[in-house]
């Protein structure tokens, strides 16, 4: 329990900060708190805790967590900052202009989902009536994340060849530590062949491209869509609207932007050296009418559970981004910009698929996943 703040707001911040453990994500994102978030916290059952937690999420975390995904995306959208200066693209005006797409970009790190009302989590700060997001129930979010990490390590120690979480578990558990780690261009477990990880990533990309180009209906159950194997991951009565915008009414009319943002997240994560190993770019050009330059081939996809969190985080910072954009061509921004160009043109999936295959060319499809170099 957070003690009552008897003196100043700064006391609240220090107390909250002391109780907030470090969290490992993919490329770190800047949490944003809307008026809707504040209203929901006011209606929840842990109002004091969540209001203090919200202040901390909205004000303290940006000081220590780099909003790298936002910087990459805003640069790809047309910010004229030179290579290595991507953080300067993050302005209030730019964020407001692209708010929905940026919500999609951060969705894989913080997907909204409903808590189980029949068996709510036994974690302080959780209110099963309120959709779970870091900006609405931050203490609950952190508690669930910590529980997922501990549980995943135990399960993977017993059975390292299977994902720690799957359908029926919370999205937060699955996307960071379970069968949905392909959302972050990572394998579900050690030993997973690169070709299998890539097949799942491509399945996800096809679905997102369909939503982004409005060729996949967002009100049909995902299990009924003609996207290979996707129904195995979402076998219940889940639609694209449920998946991408549970409890987030304000973005539902623009799910195309949410979807392209989520796709960019996966693409961008694949360039992080805590997610995958890539060769140096060769100067080759992708097949197709646009002649996009080909990035380095994928050497290995990494899996998260065996990594050291602090080493993982070190590769998901502005410094790592600057090194990549200053030394590589095409770099992470160029590839993001290419996908955005295809999306704006309304390219059908077969055309986007050719570029996807080029960006994710594997050095060896049989290479097995592991923690990579990020171990003690």
DSSP-derived secondary structure for 119-141: S--SSTT--TTS-B-TTTSHHHH
Per-residue pLDDT band for 58 (boundaries 50, 70, 90) equals low
**27 HSE (CA, 13 A, CB side):** 30
Dihedral through CA 193, CA 190, CA 223, CA 100, nearest 10?
-100
**What is the reported pLDDT for 4?**
34
Among 53, 58, 49, smallest CA distance to 29 is for 58
Hey, is 113 helix, strand or coil?
Answer: strand
Q: Give the model confidence (pLDDT) of 123-176 as tens digits.
A: 888 999 999 988 888 888 889 999 999 999 999 889 988 999 999 999 999 999
Whether 375 and 308 have beta carbons less than 8 Å apart is answered as: yes
Distance CA(195)–CA(360), nearest Å, equals 10
| Proportion of the chain above pLDDT 90, given as a percent | 61
Whether 201 and 268 have beta carbons less than 8 Å apart is answered as: no
Whether 147 and 83 have beta carbons less than 8 Å apart is answered as: no
DSSP string covering 215-237: -S-TTSBGGGSSSTTHHHHS-SS
Distance CA(83)–CA(95), nearest Å, equals 20
**241 conformational bin, left if phi > 0, alpha if psi -120 to 50, beta if neither:** alpha
Question: Looking at 220-283, which runs of residues are DSSP E strands?
Answer: 276-278
Q: Give the model confidence (pLDDT) of 223-266 as tens digits.
A: 999 998 999 999 999 999 999 999 999 899 999 999 999 999 99
The H-or-E segment that residue 104 falls in is helix 99-106
What's the residue count for the chain? 376
Q: pTM score, two decimals?
A: 0.86
Q: How far is CA 205 from the centre of its chain?
A: 13
């Amino acid at each position: 329990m957070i003690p009552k703040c008897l003196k100043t707001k700064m006391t609240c911040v220090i107390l909250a900060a002391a109780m907030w453990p470090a969290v490992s994500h993919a490329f770190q994102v800047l949490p944003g708190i809307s008026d809707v978030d504040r209203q929901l916290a006011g209606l929840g059952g842990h109002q004091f805790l969540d209001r203090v937690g919200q202040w901390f999420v909205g004000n303290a975390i940006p000081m220590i967590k780099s909003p790298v995904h936002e910087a990459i995306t805003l640069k790809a959208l047309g910010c004229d900052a030179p290579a290595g200066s991507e953080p300067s693209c993050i302005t209030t005006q730019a964020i407001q202009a692209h708010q929905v797409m940026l919500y999609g970009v951060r969705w894989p790190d913080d997907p909204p989902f409903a808590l189980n009302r029949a068996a709510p989590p036994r974690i302080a700060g959780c209110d099963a009536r309120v959709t779970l997001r870091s900006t609405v129930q931050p203490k609950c979010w952190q508690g669930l994340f910590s529980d997922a990490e501990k549980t995943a390590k135990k399960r993977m120690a017993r059975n390292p060849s299977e994902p720690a979480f799957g359908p029926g578990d919370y999205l937060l558990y699955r996307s960071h530590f379970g069968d949905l780690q392909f959302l972050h261009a990572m394998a579900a477990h050690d030993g997973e062949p690169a070709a299998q990880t890539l097949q799942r990533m491509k399945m996800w990309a096809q679905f997102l491209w369909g939503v982004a180009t409005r060729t996949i209906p967002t009100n049909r159950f995902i299990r009924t869509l003609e996207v290979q194997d996707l129904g195995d991951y979402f076998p219940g009565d889940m639609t694209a609207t449920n998946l991408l915008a549970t409890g987030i009414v304000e973005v539902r009319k623009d799910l195309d932007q949410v979807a392209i943002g989520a796709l960019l997240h996966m693409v961008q994560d694949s360039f992080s050296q805590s997610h995958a190993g890539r060769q140096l770019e060769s100067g080759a050009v992708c097949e197709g009418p646009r002649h996009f330059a080909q990035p380095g081939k994928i050497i290995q996809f990494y899996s998260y559970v065996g990594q050291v969190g602090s080493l993982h985080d070190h590769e998901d910072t502005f410094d790592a981004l600057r090194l990549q954009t200053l030394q590589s061509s095409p770099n992470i921004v160029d590839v993001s910009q290419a996908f955005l160009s295809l999306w704006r043109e309304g390219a059908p999936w077969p055309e986007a698929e050719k570029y996807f295959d080029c960006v994710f060319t594997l050095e060896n499809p049989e290479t097995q996943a592991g923690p990579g170099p990020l171990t003690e």
